[in-house]
Amino acid sequence: MDLELPDKLYFKIGEVSELIGVKPHVLRYWESEFSPVRPGKSRTQQRLYQRKDIELLLRVKDLLYRQGFTIAGAKKQLRVPADESEQLDLLAPVSVDRELLLELRNDLLRLRKSLS
């Protein structure tokens, strides 16, 4: 899966479709099945994928098409390292959001206490 990606920040769905070798409707389906795949959207609501999204989609394609996993099996495989030297950290955005929410909660509790 050593695909040379162009040096860009964002990729449109058509570009990603060509890079990965699947139709755009397949990418949209994978978005609905694999929660870590969440491209941003432009002002015109066009999907904008980042490098990390493409790398994850390449891994999904490999699991489904080359290794023969089902969707459920691929979801389980994505929770383990891509190989022994590399781990795809799918939970990092969740933990960052959780920390932010905890900080916000503490701020709100302090505010409520000061208003009492």
Task: Estimate to the nearest angstrom the gap between the alpha carbon of 22 and the chain centroid.
Answer: 17
Q: How many residues does the chain have?
A: 116
Q: Percentage of residues in the chain with pLDDT exceeding 90?
A: 53
Q: Is residue 1 part of a domain?
A: no
Residue 95 has a pLDDT of 46
Q: Is residue 21 located within the same domain as residue 72?
A: yes
Q: Percentage of residues in the chain with pLDDT exceeding 70?
A: 84
Range of the domain at 113: 89-116
71, 83 Cβ separation under 8 angstroms: no
Residue 4 has a pLDDT of 78
The model carries a pTM of 0.65
For the stretch 57-114, pLDDT in tens is: 999 999 999 999 999 989 988 887 655 434 444 444 444 467 777 888 888 999 999 9
90, 52 Cβ separation under 8 angstroms: no
Q: Is residue 2 part of a domain?
A: no
